[in-house]
C-alpha cells in the first residue's frame, strides 16, 4: 500500500511510532471523497486560486506549537520560530499570536517578523554573515540577542554597537563537532562545517569579548543540523553546552541563556526513522541543562510548519516511458526544490479519495522545467494519474515556498492559509507583467 499514512488512520494504532504520528498529526484528510485542508475542499481551492498552490493549515500550525510549548512547560524556555522555514506573513502572524518569538537570519527576515507583530525582545538574529548594516538595523529595533559565529563578527558587532552608543547582547555559536546524522547539506555541527567557532576556542573568545566595547555576551548558541531523527547527537551537544557553561562561569562570565537551536525532525513517510517526540526532547533538555538556571531558547522551524503545508498541483499529461510512466504536473523544481536538492522524499496523495484506492503503477512525478533534475517524486508506486487530476505533495510547509524561484520564468505560486471552513490567499500569484517588470532595460537598449 502506498497510502498508509492518511492522518485519520494512525489514531487507532499504538506504539511509539503511532504516538508520534498522532502528535504530529495534521489536518489534511479526506472528506466526502476529496482531500480537504481542515474544512476546505482542495478542488474548490484549486478552482478558486488555480494550480499549483501552497496550502497551509492553521490548526496544524497551532497544534505543533502547542505540543512543543507544553513539552517545555515548567522550564524557562522561549520558542523562537525559525523564520527561514516559512516566512509568509500569515504564518508568522499565526505564530506571533501564540506567543512565539522568532529566529531570523537576515534584515529581511527581521523586518518580516516585526511586520507580523513579533516583539523585538523575542527576536534572535543568527547567521554566519551578518553585515554591519544589518547589525545596526537590528540594534535600532532592540532585538533580544545576536548569535555571533566568528571572532571578526564579534569585533564588527562591538564596533557597530559602540558607534551607536548601545550594548548588543550576544551569544557565541559554538561548533561542537557532533554528527547530527542528517543529510550532508543540512548538517551544521561538524568541525568541517562553516558554522560557529571551534569548541576549544570558545573560552578565549569569551575572554576577548569582555575586553570589547558595546557587548554583553551572556549566552551560548548551538545548532547541529536539521531533520534530526535521533536524540543522541542532541544529548552530546547539550552536554558540551553544559560543560562550557560551567567552564565559562568558572572564568567569571555570566551565562544567562542557552540557545539550543532547532533541528527536530518530522516524519516524511512511514518508512522514515521516527523523530524524537517533543516530550523526550524537552526531557533531555531538562536532564542536561535544567539545573543551570539559564533561560533556554529554541529555534524550531520544520517541526512546527513541515506538515502544516502541502503543495497542490494538477496533472498536465501522463506519458508512457520505457518501463515507467511519467506524470507531468504543473508544479516543478522551482516551486519545491527539496527532492532535487536533498533527495528529499515527499508523499504524494491523490486529491480524489477514489484514486487512492486504484492499483498503483510505477512512475516519476515531474514538472515542466527543462532539467532531468526537475522532479517531485521518483520511481513511486502511485495511482495512474491522468490529465487534469489534482495531487497533493505532502509535508511541504517547511523550506517549500521559501526556497522557490522563478526559474524558467515561472511565477511564484500562491500561498493559501486555511482556518476551519475559511481560507485566504496569503500570497497572490504574481502576474507575468509583475515578473518581467522587475527587469530594466539599460538606456542603450531602451525602445523609447
Does a cis peptide bond (omega within 30 degrees of 0) precede residue 264? no
Give yes or no for residue 336 binding ligand LLP (CB under 6 A): no
Nearer to ligand LLP, 27 or 338 (CB): 338
Least separation in angstroms between CB 243 and ligand LLP: 21
Q: Which residues contact 111 (CB under 8 A, 6 or more apart)?
A: none
257 binds ligand LLP (CB under 6 A): no
Q: Which is nearer to ligand LLP, 84 or 114 (CB)?
A: 84
85 binds ligand LLP (CB under 6 A): yes
* Least distance in angstroms from the C-beta of 261 to ligand LLP: 5
d(CA 271, CA 65): 25
Measured CA to CA, the distance from residue 132 to residue 187 in angstroms comes to 27
In terms of CB distance, is 222 or 328 closer to ligand LLP?
Answer: 222
Query: Which residue from 64, 25, 19 is spatially nearest to 305, judged by alpha carbons?
Result: 64
415 binds ligand LLP (CB under 6 A): no
Task: State the binding string over 21-60 for ligand LLP (x if CB under 6 A, else -).
Answer: ----------------------------------------
For ligand LLP, the binding residue among 54, 199, 281, 399 (CB under 6 A) is: 399
Q: Which of 112, 114, 122, 338 binds ligand LLP (CB under 6 A)?
A: 338
Compute how many residues bind ligand LLP; rule: CB under 6 A.
Answer: 23
Residue from 93, 186, 361, 435 in contact with ligand LLP (CB under 6 A): 186
Ordered DSSP codes for 313-382: EEEEEEEE-SSSEEEEES--TTT--HHHHH-----EEESBHHHHTSPPEEEEEE-SSSSTT-EEEEEEEE
- 379 φ, ψ (degrees, to nearest 5): 50, 50
How would you class 398 by CB atoms within 10 Å of its CB: exposed for 0-12, middle for 13-18, buried for 19 or more? buried
Among residues 27, 169, 223, 346, which is the contact residue for ligand LLP, using CB under 6 A?
223
CB of 158 to ligand LLP, least distance (A): 22
What are the beta bridge partners of residue 40?
A: 37
Any contact of residue 233 with ligand LLP (CB under 6 A)? no
Q: Is 162 helix (H, G, I), strand (E, B) or coil?
A: helix
Alpha-helical regions (H) of 79-223:
89-97, 107-115, 132-141, 151-164, 202-211
State the cell numbers at 334. Answer: 522551482
**Can 370 be counted among the known catalytic residues?**
yes
82 binds ligand LLP (CB under 6 A): yes
**Interface of this chain with ligand LLP, residues 290 to 329, rule: CB under 6 A:** 299-303
Helix ranges (DSSP H) in 167-256: 202-211, 231-250
| 367 vs 384: CA distance, rounded Å | 16
Asked if 275 is part of the footprint of ligand LLP (rule: CB under 6 A), the reply reads no
For residue 345, give every residue at least 6 positions away whose Cβ sits within 8 Å of its Cβ, in sequence order, or none.
Answer: 268, 269, 272, 339, 377
Q: Give, as one character, the DSSP assignment of residue 238.
A: H
| Binding residue for ligand LLP, selected from 176, 261, 267, 278, defined by CB under 6 A | 261
Q: How far is the CB of 185 from ligand LLP (least distance, A)?
A: 7
The minimum distance between CB 337 and ligand LLP, in angstroms, equals: 8
Read off the C-alpha cell for 193. 562545517
Which cell numbers in the block locate residue 1? 500500500
Indicate whether 67 belongs to the interface with ligand LLP (CB under 6 A): no
Q: How many other β-carbons are positioned within 10 Å of the β-carbon of residue 232? A: 14
Of 46-54, 80-88, 131-139, 286-294, the segment contacting ligand LLP by CB under 6 A is 80-88
- Minimum distance between the CB of residue 5 and ligand LLP, rounded to whole angstroms? 19
CB 73 within 8 A of CB 95: no
Which of 127, 383 has the CB closer to ligand LLP?
127
Using the rule CB under 6 A, is 65 a contact of ligand LLP? no
For ligand LLP, give the closer residue by CB, 237 or 328. Answer: 237
Site for ligand LLP in 90-129 (CB under 6 A): 103, 126
Tell whether residue 345 is a contact of ligand LLP (CB under 6 A).
no
C-alpha cell at 145: 540577542
Residue 414, number of CB atoms within 10 A of its CB: 20
In whole angstroms, the minimum distance from the beta carbon of 354 to ligand LLP comes to 32
When binding is defined by CB under 6 A, the residue of 7, 226, 313, 334 that contacts ligand LLP is 226
Catalytic residue among 10, 14, 55, 370, which? 370
Residue among 176 and 261 whose Cβ is closer to ligand LLP: 261
Q: Considering beta carbons, is residue 186 or 426 the nearer one to ligand LLP?
A: 186
CA angle in degrees (0–180, nearest 5) for 100-89-224:
50
Give the residue numbers marked as catalytic: 370
Per CB under 6 A, residues contacting ligand LLP are 82, 84-85, 103, 126, 186, 188, 223, 226-227, 261-264, 299-303, 338, 342, 398-399
Amino acid at each position: 500500500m502506498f497510502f498508509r499514512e492518511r492522518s485519520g488512520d494512525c489514531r487507532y494504532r499504538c506504539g511509539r511510532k503511532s504516538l508520534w504520528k498522532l502528535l504530529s498529526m495534521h489536518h489534511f484528510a479526506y472528506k466526502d471523497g476529496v482531500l480537504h485542508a481542515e474544512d476546505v475542499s482542495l478542488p474548490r481551492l484549486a478552482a478558486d486560486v488555480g494550480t499549483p498552490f501552497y496550502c497551509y493549515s492553521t490548526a496544524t500550525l497551532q497544534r505543533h506549537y502547542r505540543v512543543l510549548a507544553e513539552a517545555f512547560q515548567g522550564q524557562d524556555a522561549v520558542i523562537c520560530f525559525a523564520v527561514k522555514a516559512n516566512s509568509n506573513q500569515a504564518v508568522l502572524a499565526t505564530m506571533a499570536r501564540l506567543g512565539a518569538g522568532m529566529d531570523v537570519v537576515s534584515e529581511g527576515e527581521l523586518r518580516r517578523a516585526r511586520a507580523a507583530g513579533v516583539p523585538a525582545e523575542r527576536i534572535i538574529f543568527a547567521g554566519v554573515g551578518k553585515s554591519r548594516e544589518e547589525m545596526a538595523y537590528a540594534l535600532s529595533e532592540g532585538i533580544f540577542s545576536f548569535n555571533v559565529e566568528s571572532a571578526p563578527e564579534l569585533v564588527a558587532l562591538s564596533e557597530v554597537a559602540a558607534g551607536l552608543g548601545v550594548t548588543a547582547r550576544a551569544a557565541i555559536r559554538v561548533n561542537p563537532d557532533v554528527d547530527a546524522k542528517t543529510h550532508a547539506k543540512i548538517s551544521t555541527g561538524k568541525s568541517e562545517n562553516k558554522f560557529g567557532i571551534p569548541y576549544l576556542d570558545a573560552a578565549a573568545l569569551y575572554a576577548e569579548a569582555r575586553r570589547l566595547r558595546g557587548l554583553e555576551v551572556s549566552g551560548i548558541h548551538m545548532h547541529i543540523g536539521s531533520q534530526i531523527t535521533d536524540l543522541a547527537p542532541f544529548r552530546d551537544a547539550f552536554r558540551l553546552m553544559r560543560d562550557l557553561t560551567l567552564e565559562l562561569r568558572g572564568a567569571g562570565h555570566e551565562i544567562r541563556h542557552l540557545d539550543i537551536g532547532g533541528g527536530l525532525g518530522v516524519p516524511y513517510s512511514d518508512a522514515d526513522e521516527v523523530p524524537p517526540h517533543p516530550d523526550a526532547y524537552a526531557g533531555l533538555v531538562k536532564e542536561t541543562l535544567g539545573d543551570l538556571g539559564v533561560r533556554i531558547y529554541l529555534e524550531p522551524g520544520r517541526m512546527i510548519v513541515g506538515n502544516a503545508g502541502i503543495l497542490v498541483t494538477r496533472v498536465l499529461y501522463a506519458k508512457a516511458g520505457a518501463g515507467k510512466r511519467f506524470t507531468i504536473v504543473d508544479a516543478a523544481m522551482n516551486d519545491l526544490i527539496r527532492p532535487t536538492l536533498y533527495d528529499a522524499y515527499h508523499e504524494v496523495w491523490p486529491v480524489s479519495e477514489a484514486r487512492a484506492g486504484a492499483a498503483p503503477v510505477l512512475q516519476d512525478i515531474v514538472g515542466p522545467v527543462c532539467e532531468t533534475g526537475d522532479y517531485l517524486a521518483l520511481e513511486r508506486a502511485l495511482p495512474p494519474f491522468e490529465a487534469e487530476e489534482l495531487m497533493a505533495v505532502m509535508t511541504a510547509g517547511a523550506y517549500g515556498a521559501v526556497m522557490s524561484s522563478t526559474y524558467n520564468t515561472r511565477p511564484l505560486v500562491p500561498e493559501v492559509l486555511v482556518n476551519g471552513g475559511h481560507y485566504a490567499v496569503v500570497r497572490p500569484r504574481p502576474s507575468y507583467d509583475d515578473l518581467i517588470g522587475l527587469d530594466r532595460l539599460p538606456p542603450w537598449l531602451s525602445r523609447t
